[in-house]
Amino acid sequence: MAVKLIALDIDGTLLPYDGPHKNELSPRLRAAVTALVNDGRTVLLASGRMRVGVMNIARELGLTTPFIAQEGCLTATADGTTVRTVTLERELALAVTAYAREQGHDYEWFNADRYAVTKESPATRYYASLGEVTAEYVPRPEAIGIDPFGVGVLSGREESSAVHRALVERHGDALHVLDFPFVTVATAPEASKGNALAQLAADFGIAQGEALAMGDSVNDASMLAWAGRGIATAKADRYALAAADEQLPDEVDAVAAVLESLL
């Protein structure tokens, strides 16, 4: 079945973390995306970034399609207009917050346009820079009027998996918990890139088997599993690898090569 829909993660996928094109869109990648769009394919971005951070990468690529942001909590049009949101019940958000405080962890609350966190760190500065927002550093993010998409518990690489296990044990299927290396993010169960991609495919009238997704991380696993063809990057984490149908070679412009092969 021909691929009609291509969903692409940004950081670690379109923007490599190392190599000659570190943190940049390579010329070959830009050309491949343009060629697919000109060929009538639907190319869209699906990222953990906040609204503006995704929108600006889409503009760099010349995409006019909707995009997925913030782990699937937000779907927006190319100009940033909200299409769908998935918020976290406040009671659950407060429960995650209480756990973080009990354990002595800093934590963050976020929605489409606001990012509030208890303490500044390299990790929080990095996420704010990707989303192109100004982080709000406050003692209690839950008290400043944010209707949250999700809550993140900040910890070290050694602690994050333990935080993930604890939240899953406490809340089970009531939360969708993402096990990142330095932050454990809790969102509503239906908030995922996979669900957002399925909804957009239905909007476009494109079948699951006609969709291809590429990503590298735990937040990409749901869309890699949903798409008819899911491809993990060479340095993908264990969640993405388990969900994908195949893995890219560790080569420069490996993503661009796959996109070119679709033409």
Tokens matching residue 226: 């949903």
According to the model, what pLDDT value does residue 171 have? Answer: 97
According to the model, what pLDDT value does residue 29 have? Answer: 98
SS3 readout for 42-64: EEEEECCCCHHHHHHHHHHCCCC
According to the model, what pLDDT value does residue 143 have? Answer: 98
H/E segment holding residue 165: helix 157-171
According to the model, what pLDDT value does residue 156 have? Answer: 87
Please give the Cα distance from 53 to 37 (Å, whole number): 21
pLDDT grade for 238, boundaries at 50, 70 and 90: very high
Instruction: Work out the mean pLDDT of the chain and round it to a whole number.
Output: 97
Tokens matching residue 113: 């346009």
Q: Which CATH class is domain 5-85+191-261?
A: alpha beta
Q: Which residue's entry shows tokens 């006609």?
A: 210
Concatenated DSSP letters of 108-151: EEE-SS-EEESS--HHHHHHHHHHT---EE-S-GGGS----SEE
For the whole model, what pTM was predicted? 0.97
According to the model, what pLDDT value does residue 57 have? Answer: 98
- Please determine, for residue 1, whether its predicted confidence score (pLDDT) is greater than 80: no
According to the model, what pLDDT value does residue 158 have? Answer: 85
From edge to edge, which strands make up the β-sheet containing 107-110? 136-137, 115-117, 107-110, 150-154, 183-187, 176-179
| Annotated domain spans of the chain | 5-85+191-261, 90-187
According to the model, what pLDDT value does residue 157 have? Answer: 85
Q: Which CATH class is domain 90-187?
A: alpha beta
According to the model, what pLDDT value does residue 145 have? Answer: 96
> Could you read off the pLDDT of 123-178 as tens digits, one per residue?
999 999 999 999 999 999 999 999 999 999 999 888 999 999 999 999 999 999 99
According to the model, what pLDDT value does residue 21 have? Answer: 95
Please give the Cα distance from 13 to 9 (Å, whole number): 6
Decide if 5-85+191-261 and 90-187 have a common fold: no
How would you label 53-90 residue by residue, b for 16+ Cβ within 10 Å and e otherwise?
Answer: bbbebbeebebebbbbbbbbbbbbebebeeebbbbbee
What is the percent of the chain where pLDDT is above 70? 100
Rounded to 5°, angle at Cα 233 from 232 and 238: 60
